[in-house]
């Protein structure tokens, strides 16, 4: 049975975080929708959080999908505790990141698993996979016992990209505070976009 999620294609140009102010709520959502890598964090029973760098695939309904093997730590952790964080990474200098807090669930739908694996391969290579690759991807998904972690964002925390480009900028360096905002927060004076 086909799933009902529409996966967003890889954005040709990821959104850029402003360097002179905090990101607005709509800029935060655009940042997440147009990037492809994140540090995926889950709580552990002991020690600090478990973290790994993964490719993710956004959907039209703003879920963030991560492919993993059923027996990997990420899937087991989500089954124990659905609270996860995704630190979405900008791949350009100056490096910015956006922390996304989400509720996650493990999905075993084989069609979704294959669609996400194909979308991840496209993000890794920079080009979408052709449909002729689907049987090979499906075989790999079955062999590796792949699942999809469906992450539903509920809050974000932004980190502005402030970096020194030279060591003589003491007079011009500025810092500002960022805050945690609801995922669906409206920009000042407007509705969510």
Quick one: which of 8, 9, 14, 21 has its CA closest to 162?
21
Quick one: which of 141, 145, 116 has its CA closest to 129?
116
In the three-class reduction of DSSP (H, G, I as helix; E, B as strand; rest coil), residue 51 is classed as strand
pLDDT in tens, 31-76: 999 999 999 999 988 889 999 999 999 999 999 999 999 999 999 9
Kindly list the structural domains of the chain, giving each domain's residue range(s) and its CATH number in brackets, ordered by start: 25-162+174-182 (2.30.110.10)
Distance from C-alpha of 87 to C-alpha of 64, rounded to nearest angstrom? 12
pLDDT in tens, 116-137: 999 999 999 999 999 999 999 9
């Amino acid at each position: 049975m086909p799933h009902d999620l529409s996966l967003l294609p890889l954005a040709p140009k990821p959104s850029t975080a402003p360097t002179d102010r905090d990101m607005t709520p709509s800029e935060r959502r655009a940042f997440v929708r147009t990037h492809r890598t994140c540090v995926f964090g889950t709580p552990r029973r002991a020690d600090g959080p478990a973290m790994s760098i993964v490719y993710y695939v956004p959907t039209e309904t703003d879920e963030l999908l991560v492919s993993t093997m059923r027996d990997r730590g990420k899937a087991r952790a989500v089954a124990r505790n659905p609270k996860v964080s995704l630190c979405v990474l900008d791949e350009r200098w100056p490096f910015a990141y956006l922390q996304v807090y989400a509720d996650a669930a493990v999905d075993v739908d084989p069609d979704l698993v294959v669609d996400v694996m194909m979308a991840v391969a496209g993000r890794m290579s920079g080009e979408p996979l052709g449909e002729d690759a689907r049987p090979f991807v499906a075989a790999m998904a079955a062999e590796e016992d792949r699942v999809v972690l469906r992450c539903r964002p509920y809050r974000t925390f932004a980190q502005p990209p402030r970096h020194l480009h030279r060591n003589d900028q003491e007079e011009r360096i500025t810092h500002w505070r960022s805050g945690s905002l609801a995922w669906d927060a409206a920009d000042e004076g407007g509705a969510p976009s």
